[in-house]
């Protein structure tokens, strides 16, 4: 398990380093301007659908269903054709009505800004069918415990965007955003090629070819599998949609605040997502196929043992990341982004947003771990109900905090939603099971280690600040 986690973590780290370099270039070239807001909006829309339909709900439902199916080849191809057809239809609608979709995600933009942003939204949205195909192939590779390709492939998107920025940095802002938009699509193509090569090397092409060959003939044999998949998928869509709706509302509400607010949220969230992806997501991706197989074989004890190891691994790492990130939030933003068009005031506002996000790092990370239990047991409806409660909590606090705290209040509301989600997920997982995991000397080590780490950072903060 830990080999797979470290593979994922290293791949994600490599990709995120490139991603930070990309963001550094973006901040230097576009700053926190109307054109940076426009690009983040244009890129956010396909990412919204990607996380809901592709990486989120699809992966969570597909892997347990794939493990259970007796006709894996035909089932796999049927699901792929149905989903790709739906996603291509959505992509066509966005390209036919780009201004409508742009206005839906950035209502605070005026008519002129929406008109400028619409063509970029059209281009960026073609990333969605490409990345769904990547996610489909990645799910098959994960079932075979092959994680390296998916972990490192995201770097191809960042390399494509970095190249676009370097080629366009002396051009007008409007042209830079065009380069970035086409860079997104090219990055998706490169990711797809990398996964096709991995599928070929893993010998999975035979399964896909067999599925296409016998699809019509054996379609009746997978009716029960596809019916159960649909029943689980729609609650999973809603469960994953709530997190993305929250992100959408962040952007929507921030568009009514001062110019640059959307960018402050974006840059802070990029920092927040690093430890979340590096530790929590890497762990959950590696653990999910194992948990699903153990529970399918009614071996709950082994599933719990794996979950307990992952829990303490995550808790130590995320606690250290939270403490370090909050104490050094200003220094982190300054060293990464404060140059060119991104000034000291932008750093101050972004670091405040980052602090609010980081308060919720541990609950967000642990929730991703415990929710695997629900997905592996095909309890997507329970997960969807929890996500709904979390979303409602976020909306209440976002509306309450936006006036007194501005853009930082939106990040704090998101954090409170994360605490809510973890509480109810543990309740469904089993409070007794959770406290059984906590009954360990590790809890004492965590407390003492956190105090020592905090003291060390406070003492040496001025020294660190002087040298970065």
Domain membership of residue 327 (yes or no) is: yes
Domain boundary among 219, 246, 273: 246
- 192 and 302 share one domain: no
**Do 364 and 241 belong together in one domain?**
no
* 26 belongs to a structural domain: no
Q: Which residues contact 150 (CB under 8 A, 6 or more apart)?
A: 11, 134, 138, 141, 142, 195, 285
On whether residue 286 sits in a domain, the answer given is yes
Identify whether 23 is part of a domain: no
Residue 266 lies in a domain: yes
User: What is the pLDDT confidence band of residue 32, given thresholds at 50, 70 and 90?
Assistant: low
Token pair listed for 47: 């990412």
Same domain, 445 and 404: yes
> By residue range, what is the domain housing residue 129?
34-246
DSSP code of residue 337: H
> Based on the domain organization, do 242 and 307 belong to the same domain?
no
**Together in a domain, 364 and 415:** yes
Do residues 41 and 106 both lie within one domain? Answer: yes
**What is residue 396's predicted lDDT score, i.e. its pLDDT?**
94
What does each C-alpha distance from 9 to 51, 135, 139, 340 come to in angstroms? 19, 18, 17, 31
Residue 24 included in any domain: no
Same domain, 227 and 282: no
Indicate whether 393 pLDDT > 90. yes
**399: pLDDT confidence band, cut at 50, 70 and 90?**
very high
Pair 276, 407 in one domain: yes
Q: Are 457 and 352 part of one and the same domain? A: yes
Q: Predicted confidence band at 28 (pLDDT cuts at 50, 70, 90)?
A: confident
The domain boundary, picked from 188, 219, 246, lies at 246
How far CA 319 is from CA of 1, 330, 370, 412, 468, in Å, comes to 21, 19, 17, 18, 23
Do 234 and 289 share a domain, yes or no? no
Report pLDDT digits (tens) over 97-153.
Answer: 888 888 776 666 777 888 888 888 888 889 989 988 998 898 888 878 788 888 888
Q: Does residue 243 surpass a pLDDT of 80?
A: no
Residue 344: CB atoms within 10 A of its CB come to 10
Q: 286: burial class by Cβ within 10 Å (0-12, 13-18, 19+)? A: buried
d(CA 49, CA 105): 12
How many whole angstroms separate alpha carbon 62 and alpha carbon 228? Answer: 11
Q: What is the pLDDT of residues 54-81, one digit of tens each?
A: 556 777 788 788 877 778 888 888 888 8
Q: Residues 23, 267: contact at Cβ < 8 Å?
A: yes
Say whether pLDDT at 168 is over 80: yes
240, 264: one domain = no
Coil, strand, or helix at residue 316?
helix
Report the pLDDT value the prediction gives residue 55, as an integer from 0 to 100.
53
How many domains, in total, are found in the chain?
2
Question: Which one of 246, 278, 295 terminates a domain?
Answer: 246
Out of 89-93, 169-173, 287-291, 418-422, give the one with best mean pLDDT.
Answer: 418-422
Is the pLDDT at 349 greater than 80, yes or no?
yes
Q: Model's pTM, two decimal places?
A: 0.73
149 within domain boundaries: yes
169 located within any domain: yes
pLDDT band at 45 (very low <50, low <70, confident <90, very high): low
Is there a single domain that holds both residue 49 and residue 100? yes
Among 360, 353, 166, residue whose Cα is nearest residue 263: 353
Q: Give 428-446 pLDDT, tens digit per residue.
A: 998 888 888 887 667 666 6
Tokens of 303: 């599933």
Cβ atoms within 10 Å, residue 170: 9
DSSP percent split of the chain into helix, strand, coil, nearest 5: 90, 0, 10
Contact partners, residue 225, CB within 8 Å, separation at least 6: 65, 68, 69, 71, 75
Q: In whole numbers, what is the pLDDT of the chain averaged over residues?
A: 82
């Amino acid at each position: 398990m830990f080999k797979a986690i470290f593979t994922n973590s290293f791949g994600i780290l490599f990709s995120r380093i490139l991603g930070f370099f990309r963001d550094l270039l973006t901040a230097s070239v576009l700053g926190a301007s109307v054109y940076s807001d426009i690009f983040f909006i244009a890129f956010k829309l396909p990412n919204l659908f990607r996380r809901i339909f592709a990486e989120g709900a699809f992966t969570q439902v597909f892997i347990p269903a794939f493990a259970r199916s007796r006709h894996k080849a035909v089932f796999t191809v049927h699901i792929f054709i149905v989903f790709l057809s739906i996603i291509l239809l959505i992509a066509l609608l966005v390209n036919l009505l780009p201004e409508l979709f742009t206005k839906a995600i950035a209502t605070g933009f005026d008519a002129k800004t929406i008109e400028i942003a619409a063509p970029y939204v059209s281009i960026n949205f073609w990333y969605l069918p490409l990345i769904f195909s990547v996610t489909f192939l990645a799910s098959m590779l994960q079932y075979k415990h092959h994680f390296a390709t998916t972990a490192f492939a995201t770097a191809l998107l960042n390399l494509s965007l970095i190249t676009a920025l370097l080629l366009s940095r002396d051009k007008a802002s409007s042209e830079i955003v065009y380069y970035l938009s086409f860079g997104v699509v090219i990055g998706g193509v490169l990711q797809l090629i990398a996964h096709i090569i991995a599928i070929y090397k893993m010998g999975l092409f035979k399964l896909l070819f067999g599925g296409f060959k016998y699809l019509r003939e054996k379609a009746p044999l997978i009716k029960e599998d596809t019916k159960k998949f649909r029943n689980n998928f729609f609650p999973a869509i809603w469960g994953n949609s709530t997190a993305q709706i929250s992100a959408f509302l962040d952007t929507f509400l921030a568009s009514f605040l001062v110019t640059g607010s959307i960018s402050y949220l974006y840059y802070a969230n990029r920092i927040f997502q690093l430890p979340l992806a590096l530790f929590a997501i890497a762990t959950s991706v590696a653990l999910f196929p194992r948990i699903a197989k153990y529970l399918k074989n009614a071996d709950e004890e082994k599933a719990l043992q794996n979950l307990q190891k992952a829990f303490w691994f995550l808790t130590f790492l995320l606690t250290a990341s939270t403490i370090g990130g909050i104490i050094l939030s200003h220094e982190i933003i300054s060293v990464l982004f404060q140059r060119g068009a991104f000034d000291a005031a932008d750093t101050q506002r972004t670091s405040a947003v980052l602090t609010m996000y980081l308060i919720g790092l541990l609950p967000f990370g642990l929730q991703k771990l415990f929710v695997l239990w629900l997905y592996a047991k095909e309890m997507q409806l329970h997960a969807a109900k929890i996500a709904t409660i979390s979303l409602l909590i976020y909306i209440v606090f976002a509306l309450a905090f936006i006036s007194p705290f501005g853009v930082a209040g939106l990040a704090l509301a998101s954090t409170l939603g994360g605490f809510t989600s973890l509480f109810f997920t543990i309740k469904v997982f089993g409070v007794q099971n959770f406290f059984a995991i906590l009954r360990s000397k590790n809890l004492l080590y965590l407390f003492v280690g956190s105090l020592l780490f905090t003291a060390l950072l406070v003492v040496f903060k001025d020294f660190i600040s002087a040298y970065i």
